[in-house]
Amino acid sequence: MGDIVTLIAKRLGLGLITLLIISIIIFFMVELLPGDIAQAVLGQGATEENLAALREQMGLNKPSIVRYFEWLGGAVVGDFGESIVTGERVSAVISDRLVNTLFLAAYAAVIAVPFAITLGIIVALLRNTLFDRVANVLTLTSISSPEFFLGYVLILFLAVKSSAFPAIASLSGDLSFGELLHRTFLPALTLVLVVTAHMMRMTRAAIINLLASPYIEMARLKGTPPWKVIVKHALPNAWAPIINVVALNLAYLITGVVLVEVVFVYPGIGQSLVDAVSKRDFPVVQACCLIFAATFILLNLAADVGAILTNPRLRHPK
């Protein structure tokens, strides 16, 4: 038990160090942008008084290292400063958008994870058959297609030609849960198509890799049905790579939704990031990037810890 706690503590420590390095990169990449940030925000027609007031508001008259630690201290407690465009607190600007993104990611994950694992088990049972080949071709096509392309294809067939679902995922506070699921189905389906292929192929590969093991051969010699060999003998020992790839794809569902949210005009944090970049709202850009980085690192840590807990060899590397 002590070994597991030590390994998890080391992973958490490395995750915090990684996040600290990323926060430095995010903050100082904005600092390295050419030109005057205040001038870029207010435009060429701004007066010196307005520029000086904005620099004072943004703290640009302080040394960069001082502003970084002030920003980092606020970010630790969820305070990312004020939006340059609206004057609101950044946390208030992106909080509802973050909830919408988390909902969309959860919606896609609820569909994609069980479907991908089940499909992976089926194609492992039916490997080298026509079904296996067709599934592999379709998943390779899905992996190779950009998210925005899949989104536009779904809009064409399911929104324009059939009118089954709305092309724009507009949300309002008075929607019922069923209406919410209906309006967000197309962006969720786009994400499902992107992540299902990777998880399915990893599940298939992990199970097939174990089918040549001696204990699997023994189970077959005893007359155990093929589905029972995979589900009761191979699958429990394949959980480590499966959990890893599931966690990585869940991280993608949250951090890789920018294009999907733009295509479907979905009011998530990815859309907020694009809007902030176009308006040069740098505090919002920094906050969105840091949230994406923290989410990705956290889910990578979850994948690492899950692999450690499900694989005894990783708990005792010696």
Q: Can you give the pLDDT at residue 22?
A: 92
Residue 160 lies in a domain: yes
- Give the number of domains in the chain: 1
Q: Can you give the pLDDT at residue 185?
A: 92
Residue 197 lies in a domain: yes
Residue 79 lies in a domain: no
CATH code assigned at 145: 1.10.3720.10
CA-based nearest residue to 312, from 211, 240, 215, 209: 240
| Those residues with Cβ within 8 angstroms of residue 236's Cβ, 6 or more apart along the chain or in another chain | none
Which residues span the domain enclosing 192? 98-278
Reported as half-sphere exposure (CB side, CA atoms, 13 A), residue 181 has a value of 8
| Those residues with Cβ within 8 angstroms of residue 46's Cβ, 6 or more apart along the chain or in another chain | 38, 39, 54
Cβ atoms 113, 199 nearer than 8 A: yes
Q: Is 316 exposed, middle or buried (0-12, 13-18, 19+ CB in 10 A)?
A: exposed
Give the Cβ contact number of residue 262 at 10 Å: 18
Q: Can you give the pLDDT at residue 20?
A: 92
Eight-class DSSP state of 34: S
Please state, in angstroms and rounded to a whole number, the distance separating the CA atoms of residues 118 and 305.
23
Rg (CA), the chain: 24
Q: Can you give the pLDDT at residue 206?
A: 83
Q: Burial code of 69-97, b = ≥16 C-beta within 10 A, e = fewer?
A: eebeebbeeeebbbbbeeeebbbebbeeb
Axis-axis angle for helices 239-255, 185-210 (nearest 10): 160
Q: Can you give the pLDDT at residue 275?
A: 86
Q: Can you give the pLDDT at residue 107?
A: 92
Residue 198 lies in a domain: yes
Q: Can you give the pLDDT at residue 318?
A: 52
Tens of pLDDT along the chain (318 residues) come to 566 778 778 888 888 899 999 999 988 887 777 666 676 666 676 777 777 777 777 777 778 888 888 888 888 888 888 887 777 888 888 888 888 999 999 999 999 999 998 888 888 888 888 888 898 888 888 888 888 888 888 999 998 888 888 888 877 777 788 888 888 999 999 999 888 888 888 888 888 887 777 888 787 778 888 778 777 777 777 777 788 888 888 888 887 788 888 889 888 888 888 888 887 788 888 899 999 889 888 888 887 777 777 666 665 555
Residue 24 lies in a domain: no
Please state, in angstroms and rounded to a whole number, the distance separating the CA atoms of residues 145 and 189.
14
Please state, in angstroms and rounded to a whole number, the distance separating the CA atoms of residues 280 and 83.
10
Give the E-state strand segments of 157-207 in sequence order: none
Residue 265 lies in a domain: yes
Residue 207 lies in a domain: yes
Per-residue 3-state assignment (H helix, E strand, C coil) for 8-31: HHHHHHHHHHHHHHHHHHHHHHHH
